[in-house]
Structure 1
Amino acid sequence: MRFAPDTEESLAFVVALCNTDPSASRSGADELATVDQLAALLSHFGYTGRIDHDEAELRDVHRARALLRHVWTLDRDDAVGAVNKMLRDAKALPHLVRHDSQDWHMHATEPDSPLAERIRVEAALALIDVIRMNEMDRLRICAADDCAGLLLDLSRNGLKRFCTVRCGNRMNMIAFRERRADR
């Protein structure tokens, strides 16, 4: 499955952002607990525009993280309402931009809009593509018993089940041991 490059980047960011939540992080702790951790995540994904680097912004991003995690789990019809609300709340006006080393791609907020708003709107724009292509089943929660990580399945056959190789290996080892015990 292939989406537009900016759609895939936005969806990958949502996965990374939401997997910092204590319910999904490898450490079991909030991996986005500090302004510095937020800055590191944003720099990894090349976020541009206004970034305030303060606690208020971090709290807003936490709220955006919770919302996006929820939207990830919705069915297609329910996701439409959530996406439309995110766009409406931000008074989003889609427009094409080219900046830095990126070719033409879509934005729907101004660069000086609050970070959490831009995160929500960019995710909403990506989700529009997913919804229109009827591919919501590509947005999943990890199938590992003790993991709540999000995963984005871009595989050709759409059978990806685990958020990381680590979760897949752990579940395969458990299944192997159960088969062996049954013998």
Structure 2
Amino acid sequence: MLFTDDTVEALRAAVHLANTAEQPDTLVTAEDFAAFLEAFPYTGRIDSDDDELAELRALRPRLRSVLLSSRDEMVAGINSALGEVTLDARLVRHDGADWHLHAVADDRPLAERILAETAMGLIDVVRADEGSRISVCADEDCGGVVLDLSRNRSRRYCSTACTNRNAVAAYRARQR
């Protein structure tokens, strides 16, 4: 296992959230917000209101920037994030997950908790020098972020849709 389960989940959520800003934007409505929370169930305070949705939408460019930055720039982004959040670190166990670290209190705003969890996950990426596992989608028409957790570092596309589109294009090119 490359990273712990909580690190993987924090990175997956951050990548997914950053990718919702790609065209078409998939974090616009309350239903989109609910779908995100269903896919990535955060514990603690969830307001599910327009302000919280706006805060998550505003967080996306920052997540994308830190996820795709060089190692040294990633460290600066992590340190900046950790300096901005109200840290209240503790070990917790809940919902079938074994002991893991929550960096901020459950009553803090969701965007702040996501930022802190992303920073904590990226600490592991930096410490393991595994920043190459985060890249931009290889599809020419896509700018999505790719999180490659495969053993052989073979993931090139951000989604099944991009993978399939490129596989079909390659197949058609071979048939000509």
Q: Same fold (TM over 0.5)?
A: yes
Q: Which moved more, 1:88-97 or 1:166-175?
A: 166-175
Which position in structure 2 is the counterpart of 1:162? 157
* 1:92 shift after superposition: 2.1
- Write the mapping of 1:13-92 to structure 2, written as runs, cut at 5 A: 13-21=13-21, 23=22, 28-92=23-87
Q: How many angstroms does 1:157 deviate by?
A: 1.3
Describe the shift of the 1:44–1:170 C-alpha distance in structure 2 as closer, same or farther (beyond 3 A): closer
User: Conserved in 1, the CA contact under 8 Å of 2:89 and 2:105?
Assistant: no
Give a deviation string over 1:84-129, Cα, whole Å, max 9, x none: 1101100324321112322111111000001100010001100000
Runs of 4+ in structure 1 displaced over 6 angstroms?
none
The equivalent of 1:95 in structure 2 is: 90
Higher relative contact order (CA 8 A, sep 6+): 1
| Equivalent residue number for residue 106 of structure 1 | 101
* Alignment match, 2:11: 11
Q: For residues 100 and 180 of structure 1, do their structure 2 counterparts lie closer, same or farther at Cα, with a shift above 3 Å needed?
A: closer
* Whole-angstrom CA distance in 2 between matches of 1:39 and 1:50: 14
**Greater share of residues in strand:** 2
AA partner of residue 139 (structure 1): I
CA contact (8 A) 2:136 2:144 kept: yes
5+ unaligned residues in a row in structure 1: which ranges? Answer: none
Q: CA RMSD in A?
A: 1.6
Structure 2 residue aligned with 1:137: 132
Q: Indicate the SS of the match to 1:3.
A: coil
Q: How many angstroms apart in 2 are the aligned matches of 1:32 and 1:170? A: 23
Unaligned 5+ segments in structure 2 are none
Give the SS at the match of 1:49.
Answer: coil
Query: Percent of pairs identical after alignment?
Result: 45
The two structures have a TM-score, normalised by structure 1, of 0.88
Aligned residues: 176
Instruction: Output the CA distance in 1 between the equivalents of 2:171 and 2:35.
Output: 38
What's the counterpart of residue 148 of structure 2? 153
What SS does the corresponding residue of 1:95 show, helix, strand or coil?
Answer: strand
Query: 1:34-56: per-residue Cα shift (whole Å, max 9, x none)?
Result: 23321221122221111111111
